[in-house]
Structure 1
Amino acid sequence: MSTITLTTWSLEMTSPQDLVPAAVPGPETTVARAEVPSPEFSRFLYASVGGDIHWTDRLSLTRAEWVEHLGRPGVETWVAYDRGTPAGYVELDPQPDGVVEIVYFGLLPDFRGRGIGGHLLSVGTARAWDLARRWPDLAPTRRVWLHTCSQDGPTAMDNYLRRGFKLFKTETEEKQPTPTPGPWPGA
C-alpha cells in the first residue's frame, strides 16, 4: 500500500490585538458556550465535524474519559448554531502556563462555505484570550495556538491566517492512508 504525505502546520497568536474578527454571517447564526459538560454532545460534534476529515483519535474514548477531559478547569466548548441547529464548534484547552490550545475547530459539512467558520473562529479565539475571566484559577492567556493539516478542509488554513494567526512550525510525515469514518462511525 502506498503512503501519503501528511503536512501539519502549527499557528499561533501572541496578543489579543492580533485577532482580525470575521463578519457575523447574519442574525440566524449564534455562538454559545456549552456550559454543562456533555460527553454525548461533545462526541456528536466531534464525529459530525471530523467524520469526513480523518478525525479519529477521540472515537475510542470511553464516556468516563470524555467526562474527565470535559471536566478539566477551563476546557470550554463553543457551539455555532444556524437557526437553532448545531453548525460547528471550537474547543479550548488551557495549559497551566497561560497557553490555550484550540484543540478542535470546524463545521458540519452542510454548514461549510457560508461564512459561519470565520465568525466561529473569531468568537472562539476571543474566548481563548479572556478564558481566565471565567476561570479565575487559570493564568491569564499569553498565547493561543492550534494546528491544522493537509487532510483538514480546504479553507481551514486561509481562515486561520485571515483571523491573524501566524505560522510557526511545519512538519511532514509519511503515513498509511485511512478511510474517513463518516459522521456515523461504526454504523
Structure 2
Amino acid sequence: MTIDVTTWSLEQTAAADVSPAREPGAGAGVRIVRAEVPSPAFSRFLYTAVGADNDWTDRLEWSHERWLEFLDRPGTETWVAYERGTPAGYIELDPQDAGVVEISYFGLLPAFRGRRIGGHLLTWGARRAWDLAERWPGRPPTKRLWVHTCSKDGPYALDNYRRRGFKVFDVTTEAEVATGAEG
C-alpha cells in the first residue's frame, strides 16, 4: 500500500522574520540549553524519542562514528528543551555554505506536546540560527534559515513554522510505501 506524502520547504531570509511564540507559563519550569559536548548517544536518544511516532528512520542505521562526524562539525548545534529537568524536545541546527542554516530536526517527545513548549523551542532555535556566527568564529553571518516538514509529522508542525515567520518556498507530493503506522 502507498500513501501520498506532502513535503513543505519553508524559509526565513532575515532575523526580523522570527515571530516569537508565547513562553510556557512560569510554573512550567521549561528551560532550553545547548548540548555543547557532541554526544552520539544523547543525540540518538533525542532523535528516536521524538521521531518514533513520526516515522523518522534515516538516521537509525548511523554508527557512533557517523553521529560524531555530524555533531562535531563547526556550527552544528543541538538545543534541548527541558521541563523540570526532563528532556522535552530538541532543535538541531545544521550550518551549510554561504550563510545558510538548516533546521535538520525539531520536535518534542510525545508526553510534552500540546503544552506551548514547541513554539517556544522553535522561536529559541530560530534566534540561535540567526546569531550562529557570534558563537562560531569564521562562520559567515546567517542569510537564510530553512526547514522542511511533511504530512507525516505532527498535525501542528506546519502551522507552528508559519506562526514563527517561516514562508513556504516549495511543496512536493510523492507516493511512499506505507509502514504499519500509517496503513
TM-score, normalised via structure 1 length = 0.94
Give distance in 1, aligned partners of 2:76 and 2:108: 19
Give distance in 2, aligned partners of 1:13 and 1:98: 12
Equivalent residue number for residue 23 of structure 2: 24
Question: Aligned with 1:175: secondary structure?
Answer: strand
Matches for 1:47-62 after TM superposition, within 5 Å: 47-62=48-63
Give distance in 2, aligned partners of 1:99 and 1:61: 24
Give distance in 1, aligned partners of 2:91 and 2:180: 24
RMSD: 0.7
Give distance in 2, aligned partners of 1:57 and 1:157: 20
**How many equivalent pairs are there?**
179
- Residue 94 of structure 1 aligns with an amino acid whose one-letter code is P
The answer to whether the Cα contact below 8 Å between 1:96 and 1:138 also exists between their aligned partners in 2 is no
- Residue 119 of structure 2 aligns with an amino acid whose one-letter code is G
Gaps of 5+ in 2: none
Gaps of 5+ in 1: 181-187
Matches for 1:50-129 after TM superposition, within 5 Å: 50-129=51-130
Q: Which has the higher helix share?
A: 2
Q: Is 1:9 aligned with 2:5?
A: no
* Residue 20 of structure 1, CA deviation: 0.6
Give distance in 2, aligned partners of 1:65 and 1:143: 26
Question: Aligned with 1:51: secondary structure?
Answer: helix
* Residue 179 of structure 1, CA deviation: 3.4
Moved over 2 A (4+): none
Give per-residue Cα distances to partners, 1:35-58, cap 9 Å, x unaligned.
Answer: 111000000000000000000000
Q: Is 1:158 aligned with 2:159?
A: yes
Identity across matched positions, percent: 64
Give per-residue Cα distances to partners, 1:128-155, cap 9 Å, x unaligned.
Answer: 0000000111111000000000000000
